[in-house]
Structure 1
Amino acid sequence: MLDILKKPLSRIAFAITGISLLACTMGNGIAKAEGPTFQDVASQVFGQAVGPDNDGTLYVFGLTAKYTQPKYVDGRGPYKSFLKFLPSIRWYDPEHYWTPGSQNEGVFKNEECVLCHTVQTPTIVKDWKKSAHGNLEIRRGLGVKGKDGKPVEGTVGCDVCHGNDHQKLFMPTYKNCGECHPKETAEHRSGGLGSHTHAFTVNVLEFSWHVGKPAEEVAGCAECHAIAENRCDGCHTRHVFSPAEARKPTACRFCHMGIDHDEWAMYNTSIHGCLYEAESATMDWSKPSKKGNYRVPACAYCHMQDGNHNPQQFGTIYSDMGMFQVDRGAPKHKAKRDAWIKKCQDCHSPRFAADKLAEMDAGVNLSFTKWREAAAVIVGCFLDGVVDPMPEGSPPDWYGHYTFSLLPGGDPRFYATSNLERLGLEMICYLTGNVYKAYAHMSMYNQTYGNGSAFEQDRKLIEIKTEAAKLRRFAAIEKKIGLEHKSEAFWQHGEYLDLLPGWIRKPGDVDVEWFKRTDIPHRANADAGVEVHHH
């Protein structure tokens, strides 16, 4: 039994409360504290020694542990000077990070690979034998032909995708797949900003929510986006690589879900999603996603029409996950609108399709009135200096700026910032964006009541105004009594906050040549002509 259980509660409460009086900042040397650290005080209270968090000790509430950074690999892209990844990135961006790690030596034939891996990794071998790569009957049935135009008789063995020298094995990327699937690869690589084509190179290497946080915290972001851009087995998983699997909406669910882009919930709660659950067991998923083959449209039916591997070609107008406003029914977008109506005519009348799409336009435009109302309240509080903390009282954002997060040159963030700014970001990203996704998928419940709905926006707007009203009341009281308020130090420094790259980034840390590349459509960023500065 730990000593903590024997101490009087009054003593524990007094000790923990007293910690707030100490300068207990931990971290990377940004603002080294004098005197005892939080862990030192907690050690006295709980009777447990301070130690590193990676030594296997069971720390009571984690209060006496010291953070130990994991092993990182250097990032790449414009912020490679301070961007880091966990070593697991090698599986998701193998072209840049993969290194052979086999303990075996030798050059092997495919049948030898199969024989050994039947014991070592039997599921992989079984999957391969069921695939069009490993099953000759399937290959002949598909009419697969080689570069010479003649039917292919051999299998696609392990060596084709991984090499045959065990000391030089490689993990395949879309480039390897493109050797046999040039059409699909060309389509996959033809998207613009917001597409699978640049999901990692732009939306991770240049994107604030990834660059601005420690690598272990956002590893899932990097991996999901890297699969979409760098590999082909995100939709039809290895080693079966089944087209039928990729035609089901569950193939898209892996990435297209969650509070910030909840396409799966919107589809799943629509009439299409409900019919999918009812009909999926009897649907023949081996058929191409073409008109007349399916009673119920899944994601690929609408967004990868006729098997085209560039879903963006069949989207609407890219609007940064719905955070930017655009009326998709405006005359300038008539060609896109007409194409969608034509697709909907596989099952619906053109008037029904036009009415539902116009309903989407109206719902999206109305949703932005709420956001602008909220933004006016938030920015007004900033201009009046009542936000707590003001930007200079928070850690610098990853640009190295002390700029209000909703203004140009600032980094919109839901961490290391004021509660008012956090609420605002959640409203525009989580709610306003998903209002569009709900309407676009005819998820009637979510349009109004549910996840990312109009009524959720109402609640967030009230929360923002409530927070703003409190801040203004506090400011009025402070002015009346002559109190000059200063943000608490804990807003700017702490064991976690001092790990953020805004503290690390220095002038000249940006690879400006990266933004001169013409092969990628760069995100709008605050690095164009803006220098880094700190307190």
Structure 2
Amino acid sequence: MKLFATLLTIIAATSLPLSAFAAPGCIECHEKETPAAVVQWKESAHAKAGIGCEKCHGTDHDKMLRGEAKVTIKVCAPCHKKAAEDHLASRHSLALQAGWGCTRKLPSRKPGECRFCHREGDETAKIKAQCARFLKQSPEMQEIGCNYCHSVATACDSCHSKHSTSLKIVRDPNSCAKCHMGPDHPQWEMWQTSLHGTLNQSAGRSVGPDCQTCHMPRGSHNVSGGLTMNSGGVPSPAKEAEPERQKMLKICAECHAPTFGKKELERGDAVRAQSLAMLKEAERIVWELNDLGLLDPMPAQRPEHPLSGAKLVTDAQMLYEDTSHIERLFFKMKKYDYARTIKGAYHQNPAYTHWYGNAEMKMDLIDIKAEAARLKERKGTAPTLTAEEELTLLKKKFDRGVLSAEQYSAEKAKVLERVK
């Protein structure tokens, strides 16, 4: 009975003109105004299934012209339930929280931006979005330089075409490249120039895996499977990391011996730990200068950080503008070179791991130490601190979690013992 109903549907669909599946006037007008979109729709699975324009876009044309009838995941999810569920469980669904920020205090903001985080007529944010770097940009740069990638959280057409449903488009690694490239996360370049990428381009997907093979196995829309660190390279707790590691090992085992995949990933873990230790050393130097009042300029002497005010920020919300020179060096080390080192290691790319990553990190540390020495010398900082200054610095380190209670107590005792 079910098969008979399906056949009737197919027969009915093929006996009607495609324009019958669209709201009156859509096709006739858009064949003149946006002919390519109509051609793509006519060749799509949507058209073949009798899904017309109004099913996705609605019928309020004025709302469409105002840009208020976006086709978001909310529109796609009822028909594509599994894909939507996978996506919402992945890091792609967190892109708004990672990349945007509330613009209500910005004089140049566009009122329409509110809809990205707020439901219509509701002041409560549907997502928690904050990004200091986003808030520092002009509206135009926010749109093309930030939102274009981070809208993947709610916009399926970030990866899929707007009107074509061809899977060839989203199975092409180039669809990932527009966001996963550049100085801070060049995964596409790393893959393209790795042995995996070379084999893929010369011998095909059955010999060389691509982004989708490892990160979207069997068409899954959860791109986070197998990842054991956050987007900033901070390792996940063991309880969370171990199940993900097993997922990735299972994927590796489709082409490699289990021991090979395990060894490769553990080597990446070691590179990550070594690189993170180097990064923390540089961060301690920056904070020590801040504690001594030697940053030039100090946070209180420059435009306020959009989220933290007149405070030093070296976490995920650090800026590359309106900072001191040594903070700019640290930004490069953390956001570019650390990321290239560890992501290059996990993507089996020797050049990115070493020369674009590790070597740059080590030279960054040299520059940071040299700049710190210059600032101390310029300010005339004494080679040794008074006991009172040492105690103040220890207290600041304890307050921000650099020292444990036991370490703080021990270091304080040493200072007090010395001045008896």
- Please tell me the TM-score bracket, short chain as reference: 0.7 to 0.9
Seen in structure 2, the aligned counterparts of structure 1 residues 163 and 428 have a Cα distance that, compared at 3 Å, is same
How do 1:476-515 residues align onto structure 2 when only pairs under 5 Å count?
476=380
Alpha-carbon distance, 1:202 to partner: 5.0
Q: Distance in 2 between matches of 1:211 and 1:262?
A: 24
Does 2:117 correspond to 1:210? no
Does 2:223 correspond to 1:320? no
Which residue of the other structure, out of 183, 187, 191, is the alignment partner of 2:82? 183
Q: Distance in 2 between matches of 1:175 and 1:202?
A: 20
Alpha-carbon distance, 1:110 to partner: 4.3
The residue type paired with residue 436 of structure 1 is I
Give the structure 1 partner of residue 251 of structure 2.
343
The residue type paired with residue 412 of structure 1 is M
Which residue of the other structure, out of 257, 275, 279, is the alignment partner of 1:371? 279
How do 1:15-26 residues align onto structure 2 when only pairs under 5 Å count?
none
Does 2:61 correspond to 1:158? no
| Local SS of the residue matching 1:317 | coil
The residue type paired with residue 78 of structure 2 is E
Does 2:300 correspond to 1:300? no
Give the structure 1 partner of residue 110 of structure 2.
none
Seen in structure 2, the aligned counterparts of structure 1 residues 369 and 400 have a Cα distance that, compared at 3 Å, is closer
Q: CA RMSD in A?
A: 2.7
Which residue of the other structure, out of 447, 455, 465, is the alignment partner of 2:359? 455
Aligned length: 332
Encode CA deviations 1:362-381: one digit per residue, 9 max, x unaligned: 11111122212222322222
Which residue of the other structure, out of 133, 148, 155, is the alignment partner of 1:224? 148
Encode CA deviations 1:136-171: one digit per residue, 9 max, x unaligned: 3xxxxxxxxxxxxxxxxx422112111245334433
Would you say the 8 A contact 1:387–1:471 is kept in 2? Answer: yes
Encode CA deviations 1:46-104: one digit per residue, 9 max, x unaligned: xxxxxxxxxxxxxxxxxxxxxxxxxxxxxxxxxxxxxxxxxxxxxxxxxxxxxxxxxxx
Would you say the 8 A contact 2:344–2:353 is kept in 1? Answer: yes
The residue type paired with residue 359 of structure 1 is R
Encode CA deviations 1:335-392: one digit per residue, 9 max, x unaligned: 3222211210111111111111111011111112221222232222222222211222
Q: Distance in 2 between matches of 1:369 and 1:200?
A: 29
Which residue of the other structure, out of 243, 249, 262, is the alignment partner of 2:186? 262
Give the structure 1 partner of residue 45 of structure 2.
132
Q: Distance in 1 between matches of 2:282 and 2:98?
A: 29
Give the structure 1 partner of residue 96 of structure 2.
200
Q: Distance in 2 between matches of 1:427 and 1:168?
A: 46
Give the structure 1 partner of residue 7 of structure 2.
none
Seen in structure 2, the aligned counterparts of structure 1 residues 226 and 375 have a Cα distance that, compared at 3 Å, is closer
The residue type paired with residue 89 of structure 2 is S
The residue type paired with residue 266 of structure 1 is M
Does 2:363 correspond to 1:464? no
Seen in structure 2, the aligned counterparts of structure 1 residues 411 and 125 have a Cα distance that, compared at 3 Å, is closer
Give the structure 1 partner of residue 349 of structure 2.
443
Would you say the 8 A contact 1:327–1:365 is kept in 2? Answer: no
Seen in structure 2, the aligned counterparts of structure 1 residues 411 and 297 have a Cα distance that, compared at 3 Å, is closer
Give the structure 2 partner of residue 523 of structure 1.
none
Give the structure 2 partner of residue 426 of structure 1.
332
Would you say the 8 A contact 1:390–1:418 is kept in 2? Answer: yes
Q: Distance in 2 between matches of 1:187 and 1:267?
A: 24
Seen in structure 2, the aligned counterparts of structure 1 residues 114 and 303 have a Cα distance that, compared at 3 Å, is same
Q: Distance in 2 between matches of 1:159 and 1:464?
A: 58
Considering fraction of residues, name the structure with more helix.
Answer: 2
The residue type paired with residue 223 of structure 1 is N
Does 2:321 correspond to 1:415? yes
Seen in structure 2, the aligned counterparts of structure 1 residues 217 and 113 have a Cα distance that, compared at 3 Å, is closer
How do 1:351-390 residues align onto structure 2 when only pairs under 5 Å count?
351-390=259-298
Q: Distance in 2 between matches of 1:394 and 1:297?
A: 48
Encode CA deviations 1:95-124: one digit per residue, 9 max, x unaligned: xxxxxxxxxxxxx94474223322221211
Encode CA deviations 1:397-435: one digit per residue, 9 max, x unaligned: 11352212238xx95222101111111122111111221
> Under a length normalisation based on structure 1, what TM-score does the superposition of the two structures give?
0.58
The residue type paired with residue 417 of structure 1 is T
Identity over aligned pairs, percent: 30
Give the structure 2 partner of residue 40 of structure 1.
none
Would you say the 8 A contact 2:22–2:51 is kept in 1? Answer: no
Alpha-carbon distance, 1:262 to partner: 1.7
Does 2:242 correspond to 1:334? yes
Q: Distance in 2 between matches of 1:352 and 1:477?
A: 53
Which residue of the other structure, out of 278, 287, 309, is the alignment partner of 2:221? 309
Q: Distance in 2 between matches of 1:197 and 1:477?
A: 49
Would you say the 8 A contact 1:374–1:424 is kept in 2? Answer: yes
Seen in structure 2, the aligned counterparts of structure 1 residues 420 and 202 have a Cα distance that, compared at 3 Å, is closer
Larger deviation, residues 122-131 vs 110-119: 110-119
The residue type paired with residue 437 of structure 1 is K
Seen in structure 2, the aligned counterparts of structure 1 residues 444 and 331 have a Cα distance that, compared at 3 Å, is farther
Encode CA deviations 1:289-334: one digit per residue, 9 max, x unaligned: xxxxx3321111111122121212x131242321x2x278x68733
Q: Distance in 2 between matches of 1:188 and 1:298?
A: 19
Q: Distance in 1 between matches of 2:337 and 2:36?
A: 41
| Local SS of the residue matching 1:199 | helix
Encode CA deviations 1:449-506: one digit per residue, 9 max, x unaligned: 12xx100111211111221122122122899xxxxxxxxxxxxxxxxxxxxxxxxxxx
Q: Distance in 2 between matches of 1:391 and 1:202?
A: 24
Q: Distance in 2 between matches of 1:249 and 1:124?
A: 23
